[in-house]
Structure 1
Amino acid sequence: MNITKEQIDDLNAVVKVAITKEDYQDKVEGILKDYRKSANIPGFRKGHVPMGLIKKQYGKAVLVDEVNKLLQDNLNKYLTEEKLDVLGNPLPKQQDNFDWDKDELNFEFELGLAPDFEVPLKTKKPITQYKIVADKKMIDEQVERIQKQYGKLVSKEEVGEGYEVTGTFRNEDEGIDNKTTLELDKLKGKKALNALKGKKVGDSVSLKTKGLLKEDYLLSSILGISQEKATDLDIEVSFTIEEINERELAALDQELFDKLFGKDEVKSEKELRERIKNDSEKQFEQQSDQKLLNDVTEYFIENTKFDLPTGFLTKWIQMTGEEPLSEEQANEEYEKSEKGLRYQLIEGKIIKENDLTIQFDELKEFAKGFIKSQMAQFGQLNPQEEELDNIAARVLGNQDEVKRLSEQLMSQKLLDLYKEKVNLKTKEITYEEFVKEVYG
């Protein structure tokens, strides 16, 4: 067997493979002999079918199968040994009227080669790294939310500002008949609030759905309808009052602190506020880190210039999908995937040049940290190390989970590298300001 490469240009090459009978004949003969032993052909005893008949019936199929195996194995070996960085997979060149009976079989494969480029991590333009802080307004709201959650309901005779009113929304034409508890603090307009103030159990009021609540997405749940139906809904509904309560705020005392954080973990309102601030900012850090990772990724995609073997990749997409695509469809698919492909190449180069690797022990520790955070959400704050090891072993026995966790861990390693090497400018900002600036 002889394999040679013809370089077309920096991004395209053709590999030529010449296979002779000596490369496959012994293997083909061995398989045909095995076929002869088990062949069941009318008119012949089992194991005594003439070899000529076996070759006539099975020879071509066995030959093609063995040659294809040889091609695949040796082509992959050649690409590895020659350290050719290819995109997609080699594409066989079409050969009309191919003669499988020749003493030498010649095949050609098109290659798309990865481009050579540089990725300077020290960016020319500084990239914003957001530091999201929990301001006094947010902490006040969190404290009040806790007090409400752990407070008690006091029954009232008539509706007053800030009360919670349980009742049933109805609109016969729209099929609305839903019992719910309405927090008056969530009402948007004074008209609805004034309509309810002073009302008693058994009273009904008419309310317009459009602009009823400060948060539009809550409308579907209080009316018991789909989010799609609730969007831009502009009708009148009746609301019949069945229960009126005022939520008495829980006292900020040691009993509440122990209930929230464990015995004597927090001992004063000041410590509570510090804990809320620290916990909130820790959660915000995940969002700001994701934003930084996205921004650095976009910067590298926009500012790292290199050509791709577009013609080859388009043909590869056209020929290797689940269903054959037209040239136009393949061009559309390539345009959709080009940005992702560019970043895969950029990310791969950054990982290789900075020797970012994942060892099993660190993947296991990463998995245990993830499991621990999941358990904490369900109140299991101090799991035993043995329990974490057992759960991690089960998780890492699933290859899909290994892939997902490995990708997350590599993203963390890239983020740490970017924080160290990329030209960053820190911007301190409240969460509310962050949402407005980032998400508009």
Structure 2
Amino acid sequence: MEIKSNKIDSANATIEATIPKEVVDANIEKIAKELQKTASVQGFRKGKVPVSIVKKQYGEKLVQDAEAEALREVLSKGLEDLSISNEELIGEPNIFKFDKSDDKIEVAVKVAMRPVVELGDYASMVKDFKKPTIKAKDVDARIKSIAESQAPLEDIKRNRKMKDGDTAVIDFKGSVDGEIFEGGTAENFELLLGSGQFIPGFEEQLVGVKRDEEVVVKVTFPQEYQSKALAGKEAEFKVKVNGIKVKGDVEINDELAKTILQGKEDATVEELQKQVKTQMENEELGKLYNDELKPALLESFVAEFQFDLPEFVVEQEIDMALNKSAQTMSEDEIKELRESEKKLNELRDTFREDAQKSVRATFIIDALAIEQDIKVEENEVMQTIYYEAMQTGQDPKAAYDQYKESGYLPAIQMSMVEDKVLSGLLNSKIKEA
């Protein structure tokens, strides 16, 4: 076989070859003889089936297997010529030419290698920064908010007009086009005004209403409402206010600290203040990391570390950007792209620079993770998904299974690795304010 190998750069190579018909024929003979040992054909004992019958029985499948074996040989010899090991390869080889004629097959294959990222003194690129400070008055405000959330609801004695922050105790009956709908009635329901718990516009129309008053609330269900039968429909609710409740006063003392800091029988207000301050500092630090420092650090790495990128990975990233963009296009725009390869390629090129940056960032994070021996195991990914699902009231196992079936787990895992890598670098540069 005539094989020509070409290393385009450190991350991409092509292997071209001409496979003579004789090579494929020889492979067919070899594979047919192997099949002869195990083939089951009616009228012949196992292992005694003539090769000619095996060829007839397996036909085109034999030819495909013989061509595949020849192609594997081309790839193996080509990689050997290029001094590329299988461990260096990423993704599957891309066969971009496979032209068959009577006497030969002309093939061309693209292969991609994992880039070598020279990190150098990357730690020096991470700048010192001051840890966010939390004022005592902000800590006190947070504790007051926590205390108010712990306070019991109490009926107000004076019958005044309701306002945001009040809890209305109501009976209601909802109808659409004069028909009562399922789930639209309740008695003595406690609704916190201003919470956004009900359909937009409902709570606002109760502001200014007094106890024992009856009103008709008119609203329109959102188009994306969970019940398709009600989505976008206008509705009327007959509402009777049975009572008005407000949060009672809660004294901020050691007893409150013990209630909030569960399991600490000797908790004090001072300890509560320390805990709340630490929590608020971590919240501000997390916000600073996610909004500013981590994106800026990664951007500086992408600008600093230059290396060859595997073409097919960049093209995959462009594909994802293109598919996302297509979701906002009209049918006419999509049709125009399908009919014009030039316009499609022009659109793809608009995503190329961002795709290259994204791919470069991925390999940089990968190299830093290896350098620092940072890993995220599958059970960590599972725990993260479970925790977030519980926070939002979802079924944790169902959420995990959905991510797994959709193929999103590797992306989540990579995101967690990135967070660990960048957070670790930043943590080493914190200065107390």
Q: TM (normalized to structure 2)?
A: 0.60
**Residue of structure 2 equivalent to 1:40:** 41
Taking the aligned partners of 1:313 and 1:401, their CA distance within structure 2 comes to 19
**Structure 1 residues 427 and 342: alpha-carbon distance in aligned structure 2, compared to 1, 3 A threshold:** farther
Aligned residue for 2:371, secondary structure, equals coil
Deviation for aligned residue 1:269: 2.6
Deviation for aligned residue 1:273: 2.3
Unmatched 5+ stretches in structure 1:
210-218, 319-324, 378-394, 429-440
- Whether the 8 Å contact between 1:356 and 1:413 is mirrored in structure 2 is no
* Larger deviation, residues 281-290 vs 348-357: 348-357
Aligned residue for 1:281, secondary structure, equals helix
Taking the aligned partners of 1:357 and 1:63, their CA distance within structure 2 comes to 49
Unmatched 5+ stretches in structure 2:
320-337, 392-400
Deviation for aligned residue 1:167: 1.5
Taking the aligned partners of 1:82 and 1:90, their CA distance within structure 2 comes to 16
| Aligned pair partner of 2:169 in 166, 169, 182 | 166
Taking the aligned partners of 1:247 and 1:312, their CA distance within structure 2 comes to 57
Question: How do 1:251-290 and structure 2 match up within 5 A?
Answer: 251-264=251-264, 267-290=267-290
- Which amino acid is the alignment partner of residue 297 of structure 2? V
**Structure 1 residues 169 and 82: alpha-carbon distance in aligned structure 2, compared to 1, 3 A threshold:** farther
Aligned residue for 1:267, secondary structure, equals coil
**Structure 1 residues 138 and 234: alpha-carbon distance in aligned structure 2, compared to 1, 3 A threshold:** farther
Q: Tell me, yes or no, if structure 1 residue 75 matches structure 2 residue 88.
A: no
- Which amino acid is the alignment partner of residue 421 of structure 2? L
- Which amino acid is the alignment partner of residue 195 of structure 1? G
- Whether the 8 Å contact between 1:195 and 1:205 is mirrored in structure 2 is no
**Residue of structure 2 equivalent to 1:181:** 190
Deviation for aligned residue 1:334: 6.6
- Whether the 8 Å contact between 1:36 and 1:54 is mirrored in structure 2 is yes
- Whether the 8 Å contact between 1:10 and 1:113 is mirrored in structure 2 is yes
**Structure 1 residues 351 and 336: alpha-carbon distance in aligned structure 2, compared to 1, 3 A threshold:** same
Taking the aligned partners of 1:309 and 1:363, their CA distance within structure 2 comes to 26
Q: Tell me, yes or no, if structure 1 residue 203 matches structure 2 residue 213.
A: yes
Any idea what the Cα deviations from partners look like across 1:204-246, whole Å, max 9, x if unmatched? 356787xxxxxxxxx989xxx7699999999997642112223
Taking the aligned partners of 1:54 and 1:236, their CA distance within structure 2 comes to 77
- Whether the 8 Å contact between 1:91 and 1:316 is mirrored in structure 2 is no
Taking the aligned partners of 1:261 and 1:425, their CA distance within structure 2 comes to 28
Q: Tell me, yes or no, if structure 1 residue 410 matches structure 2 residue 414.
A: no
| Aligned pair partner of 1:356 in 371, 379, 389 | 371
Any idea what the Cα deviations from partners look like across 1:144-163, whole Å, max 9, x if unmatched? 33323332233334247664
Any idea what the Cα deviations from partners look like across 1:17-55, whole Å, max 9, x if unmatched? 4557897777644532354453536xx544655433443
RCO comparison, higher one (Cα < 8 Å, 6+): 1
Deviation for aligned residue 1:72: 3.4
The number of residue pairs the alignment matches comes to 381
**Residue of structure 1 equivalent to 2:248:** 248
Taking the aligned partners of 1:309 and 1:61, their CA distance within structure 2 comes to 33
Deviation for aligned residue 1:278: 1.1
Aligned residue for 2:294, secondary structure, equals helix
Aligned residue for 1:297, secondary structure, equals helix
Taking the aligned partners of 1:290 and 1:302, their CA distance within structure 2 comes to 19
Question: How do 1:49-198 and structure 2 match up within 5 A?
Answer: 50-55=50-55, 58=58, 61-72=61-72, 75=75, 78-79=78-79, 82-83=83-84, 89-99=92-102, 107-111=107-111, 131-136=131-136, 138-157=138-157, 158-159=159-160, 163-168=166-171, 172=175, 177=184, 179=186, 180-183=189-192, 195-196=208-209
Report percent identity of matched pairs: 19
**Structure 1 residues 159 and 186: alpha-carbon distance in aligned structure 2, compared to 1, 3 A threshold:** farther
**Structure 1 residues 141 and 220: alpha-carbon distance in aligned structure 2, compared to 1, 3 A threshold:** farther
**Residue of structure 2 equivalent to 1:435:** none
Q: TM (normalized to structure 1)?
A: 0.59
Aligned residue for 1:252, secondary structure, equals coil
Aligned residue for 1:276, secondary structure, equals helix
Taking the aligned partners of 1:242 and 1:106, their CA distance within structure 2 comes to 85
Taking the aligned partners of 2:134 and 2:173, their CA distance within structure 1 comes to 41
Deviation for aligned residue 1:277: 1.7
